[in-house]
Amino acid sequence: MVTVKDLAKMEDLLLKGNAACAGCPIGVALRTTLKALGKKTIMFVPACCTSVVQGIGPGAAISVPLFNTAFETAASVASGAAAAAEILGKDVTILAWAGDGGTYDIGLQAISGAAERGDNVLYICYNNQMYSNTGIQRSGATPLGAWTTTTWTGKTEHMKDMGMILIAHRVPYVAATSVGYPDDIYEKVKKAKEKKGFRYIDILAPCPPGWRFPSDMTIRLGKLAIETGFWLLYEYEDGELRFNGYTKLVAEGKREFKPVEEFLRLQDRFRHLFEPKRRDDILEEIQRWIKERFEWYLSLAKI
Amino acid sequence: MSGRKVIIDTGNSAVAYAVKDAEAKVIAAYPITPQTTIVEKIAQFIEYGQMDAKMIRVESEHSAMAAIIGSEAMGVRSFTATSSHGLALMHEMLWYASNARLPVVMAVANRTMGPPWNIWADWGDAMADRDIGWIISWAANNQEVYDFTLISYRVAEDKRIVLPAMVNLEAFVLTHTSMPFEICGEETREYLPEYDPAWKLDPDDPIIMGNLFSPADTMKLRWDMWESMERAKKVIAEAIREYNERFNRNYEGLIKTYKMDDADYAILSMGTMGEEAEVATDVLREEGLKVGTVRINFFRPFPREDIIKTLNGVSRVIILERSSSIGASGQIMQDLGQSLLLEKMQLDVNDVFIGIGGTDVSYEDIVNIVKKAIKGDLAPLYWYGSEGW
């Protein structure tokens, strides 16, 4: 298992001078991903914060070839590139790198098509649970109760379960991880790289301006999301679902999930659930949802 | 070298043969009537081992265009075909092909946009994409379908151009109508060399395509596309000349003129109606009317200079349009208008909407229209048959 110290020594392909905000989870997620994949990687990026993080053209702050494409096309452009790589006999990783808006919502059809066809694409969603690049609007990945600029009093629906949608496609590899654990991201990307066909990794990416928390707390929130069961660490591989890290410990009965409030309270996107009046109805529903979702996963998993 | 032979087949087959002879390596497509038999035939070529390419059977036209943008960006010659609603769904990605300077080639089986459902010929689908920076041609017979597809690859990939190209063939009139045409087979190789991309995604030389640019830099990029499209007039003419010499064809250039030398009146059109107008021209000539026909083969770049030159000495132009820019005029009329203004030329014009929604157009219809126009009995903007509605 790689350590965070090991990661620090590896060559950076996300360069200094990139345009990420302070505390941006892309800095962790993309840096770690590119360390795991190496230089023989070609990226396809739809409209998302990474469009901006690259910096202003004609310069660029990412050291692998990258094609910026339309919002809903990360998977489909990558499908074409994967076909071309096969024709050319090129040993490269075709990486579709998209936010949750481009994945859970507008890009879903193209992802489903590429997954069903088994196109040789590694699709990674860095998931900050909203349309962050356009100014924090609600997406299909936004959790119940979260404030966004299109849900001022809190989203009234739960997030979509994208991982399960991909598992239902029976692709070779599906994983969920979190910016709280760069070592877990690294291991999962590395494993996905070695597989052929359509592979999907969903990286939970706590966003300081979007989730409204101080920029030094990105990693802490990435860990708390896992420790509370709000997000799960798992891998679906060769038809089997397994848990990792803290999620695995809970599944094995060695730990318990912390109350979700510990995670929610640190983010101002949930402040209206605590003041001026405590919203027990929503807080209890989130806690219930976590329990029910985890039981669903447990029923499918080999621990 | 071998492989040149005359076959009798449909316009859609002509496209498929051209794509095979062009040795396109990635084809992505989604079915829509009347384009389907193009991709069916290509799929058959590939599965039967007659064509070395990879076919991606995508889940939408939007993904079809996106996929060939991905493969072309990797440096592989690519192709797709669509029609009508499929083309409309692709619209967003057509911009990515042109603005990212990816010389993909696409066949469009021109079909009416709904509602109502209507699978017959209409130029409206492609006309909605005329301002995006694609080279656009319209074929009038299956030989042109085949030839224009190969010429399109040659021009699109030319380092002086590097823009995508669309070849239009009208629904059923061409797509499903069999007629003889010659295919070039392996001899195509001499005309269309292996694809050497102007840029590509390559880890050995990493570049980023399409990140944030300043307004001023973006404007420069658009100017460069403008210049390339202007240059395309010359490059297309060159490519056609060489094609003529190599394969014994006699294409005139971006336009085709018929009996225009001494014409007092000109019919201006495109595609199959442009060819039908030649028959009408013969009939009108027999009646002593000095009529000629100008057929636009390449609509983008618009062959302004060629058209103005051939119209010199003509008193009236009758335009036959299978689409309309509702609330303005026909699209050919608009481009003729800009040409006349730029060349400080004046003409009497009748803009006639005919064949819309796939209505049948015979030479007799055209003869009637021209006679009325010459008498001065036709409104400048006229929907054929509308007096009875």
The CATH number given to whatever domain includes residue B382 is 3.40.50.920
Considering the domain architecture, whether residues B131 and B111 belong to the same structural domain is answered as yes
Cα–chain center distance at A138: 16
Distance CA B96, CA B82 (A): 17
Structure letter (DSSP) for residue A143: P
Number of domains in chain B: 2
Minimum-distance CB partner of B212 among A56, A70, A73: A56
Same domain, B309 and B359: yes
Q: Which single residue is written with the structure tokens 């005359």?
A: B6
> In chain A, count of helices (H) and strands (E)?
13, 8
Asked if A198 and A115 touch (Cβ cutoff 8 Å), the reply is: yes
Q: What is the CATH number of the domain that holds B158?
A: 3.40.50.970
Q: How many CB pairs under 8 A join A and B?
A: 161
Q: Rounded to whole angstroms, how far apart are CA atoms A30 and A62?
A: 10
Give the residue from B247, B267, B298 where a domain finishes: B247
Note whether B63 contacts A: Cβ–Cβ < 8 A.
Answer: yes
Specify the pairing of strand A93-99 against strand A240-243. Answer: unpaired
Domains of chain A, residue spans = 4-300
B220 and B269 in a single domain? The answer is: no
B237 lies in the same domain as B279? no
The per-residue pLDDT for A238 is 87
Suggest the residue from B27, B46, B52, B74 to mutate for an interface test with chain A (most A CBs closer than 10 A): B74
Over residues A185-209, the mean pLDDT reads 98
Cis before A182 (ω within 30): no
Provide the pLDDT for residue B3: 81
Residues B309 and B210 in one domain: no
Question: What is the bridge-based pairing of β-strands A234-237 and A173-178?
Answer: antiparallel
The per-residue pLDDT for B2 is 65
Question: Residues A85-100: pLDDT tens digits?
Answer: 999 999 999 999 999 9
Most B-contacting residue of A12, A69, A71, A193 (CB-CB within 10 A), to test interface? A69
Cα-only R_g, chain A? 18
Distance from CA of A202 to the nearest CA of B (A): 22
Contacts of A116 in chain B (CB under 8 A): 59
Q: Are B60 and B91 members of one domain? A: yes
Determine the Cα–Cα distance for residues B324 and B113; give it in Å rounded to an integer: 12
- Please state, in angstroms and rounded to a whole number, the distance separating the CA atoms of residues B254 and B274: 13
Helices (H), chain A: 4-9, 25-37, 49-53, 74-88, 100, 108-117, 162-168, 182-193, 208-211, 218-227, 245-251, 261-264, 280-300
Same structural domain for residues B213 and B330?
Answer: no
CA B138 to chain centre: 3
In this structure, the answer to whether residues B167 and B20 fall within a common structural domain is yes
Residue A103: per-residue pLDDT? 98
ipTM of this predicted structure: 0.96
Domain boundary among B218, B247, B276: B247
Instruction: Print pLDDT tens along chain B (389 aa).
Output: 468 999 999 999 999 999 999 999 999 999 999 999 999 999 999 999 999 999 999 999 999 999 999 999 999 999 999 999 999 999 999 999 999 999 999 999 999 999 999 999 999 999 999 999 999 999 999 999 999 999 999 999 999 999 999 999 999 999 999 999 999 999 999 999 999 999 999 999 999 999 999 999 999 999 999 999 999 999 999 999 999 999 999 999 999 999 999 999 999 999 999 999 999 999 999 999 999 999 999 999 999 999 999 999 999 999 999 999 999 999 999 999 999 999 999 999 999 999 999 999 999 999 999 999 999 999 999 999 999 99
| Euclidean distance between CA atoms A134 and A205, whole angstroms | 16
Question: Which amino acid does the sequence have at A268?
Answer: D
- Distance of alpha carbon B372 from its chain centroid, rounded? 30
Tell me which chain A residues have a C-beta less than 8 angstroms from the C-beta of B57.
117
Instruction: Provide, rounded to the nearest whole percent, the portion of chain A with pLDDT above 70.
Output: 100
Whether B169 and B48 share a structural domain: yes
Our CA-based measurement puts residue B26 at a distance from the nearest CA of chain A, in whole angstroms, of 7
Distance CA A90, CA A82 (A): 9
Range of the domain at B193: 5-247
Does A68 contact chain B (CB < 8 Å)? Answer: yes
CA-nearest of B150, B136, B131, B132 to B108 is B136
Contact between B203 and A64 using a beta-carbon 8 Å cutoff? yes
Same domain, B321 and B283: yes
Give the position of tokens 């202003």.
A56
Report the CATH number of the A4-300 domain.
3.40.50.970
**pLDDT, tens only, A154-181:** 999 999 999 999 999 999 999 999 999 9
Nearest Cβ partner of A113 from B63, B202, B217? B63
Q: How far is CA B144 from CA B12, B84, B180, B188, in A?
A: 12, 21, 11, 15
- Answer yes or no: do B233 and B286 share one domain: no
Burial of A276 (0-12, 13-18, 19+ CB in 10 A): exposed
Closest CB from A56, A85, A110 relative to B74: A85
The residue among B247, B272, B292 that closes a domain is B247
Task: Say which residues have a Cβ less than 8 Å from residue A197's Cβ, sequence separation at least 6.
Answer: A118, A119, A120, A171, A172, A173
Tell me whether residues B75 and A88 touch, CB distance under 8 A: yes
| DSSP SS3 for B128 | coil
Count the neighbouring beta carbons within 10 Å of the beta carbon of residue A22.
Answer: 11
State whether the Cα torsion A220-A223-A229-A230 is positive or negative.
positive
Report whether pLDDT(A303) > 80. Answer: no
Cβ count within 10 A of residue B103: 26
Q: How far apart are CA A143 and CA A154, in angstroms?
A: 9
Substitution target in A76, A106, A112, A169 with the highest count of B β-carbons within 10 Å is: A76
Q: Are residues B208 and B319 in the same domain?
A: no
Q: Rounded to a whole number, what is the distance in Å from the CA of B302 to chain A's nearest CA?
A: 29
Return the ∠ at Cα B366 (arms to B126 and B274), rounded to 5°.
Answer: 40
What's the gap in Å between the CA of A72 and the closest CA on chain B? 9
Terminal-to-terminal C-alpha distance of chain B? 58
Give CA–CA dist A165/B98, Å, rounded: 34
Backbone angles phi, psi at A260, to 5 degrees: -65, -25
Centroid of chain to Cα A294: 18
Tell me, yes or no, if B221 comes closer than 8 A to chain A by beta carbon.
Answer: no
| Closest-CA residue of chain B to A120 | B56
**CB atoms closer than 10 angstroms to residue A252:** 10
CA distance B329 to B319: 11
